[in-house]
């Protein structure tokens, strides 16, 4: 009996499997690295990478542990939940967009 898989694994087609793996590397680079600009929070100096894919969508990758670098995250260390984001960093990103430091990819 065949088992259901979310996506085919192409076990019987090694050339296709290699193509899918190669495209996965390209996709990861595109979505996780390309267009990311370094930015430091104007309040605490924490360094992040930022991409604005639209006026409504912002990607942020922390280059350090936010609980060690950002006072907002540090205050919640060990407590329940964590903030969706730091309002200070949000203002820094808005300022960077307004000043043309971070481009919006619309």
Q: How far apart are CA 64 and CA 47, in angstroms?
A: 7
Is pTM, for the whole model, over 0.75?
no
Q: Output the pLDDT for position 8.
A: 79
- The CA-based dihedral angle spanning residues 30, 87, 43, 74, taken in that order and rounded to the nearest 10 degrees: -90
Q: What is the pLDDT of residue 10?
A: 86
* Digit-coded pLDDT (tens) for 32-63: 778 899 999 999 999 999 999 898 999 999 98
Residue 11 pLDDT level (bands cut at 50, 70, 90): confident
Measured CA to CA, the distance from residue 82 to residue 84 in angstroms comes to: 7
For the chain, report the end-to-end CA distance as a whole number of angstroms. Answer: 47
User: What does the pLDDT read at residue 67?
Assistant: 85
């Amino acid at each position: 009996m065949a088992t259901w898989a979310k996506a085919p694994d192409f076990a019987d087609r090694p050339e296709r499997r290699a193509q899918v793996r190669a495209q996965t590397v390209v996709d990861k680079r595109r979505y996780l690295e390309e267009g990311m600009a370094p930015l430091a929070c104007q309040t605490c100096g924490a360094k992040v990478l930022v991409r604005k894919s639209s006026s409504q969508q912002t990607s942020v990758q922390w280059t350090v542990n936010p609980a060690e670098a950002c006072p907002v995250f540090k205050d919640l260390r060990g407590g329940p939940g964590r903030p969706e984001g730091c309002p200070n960093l949000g203002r820094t990103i808005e300022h960077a967009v307004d000043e043309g430091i971070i481009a919006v990819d619309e």
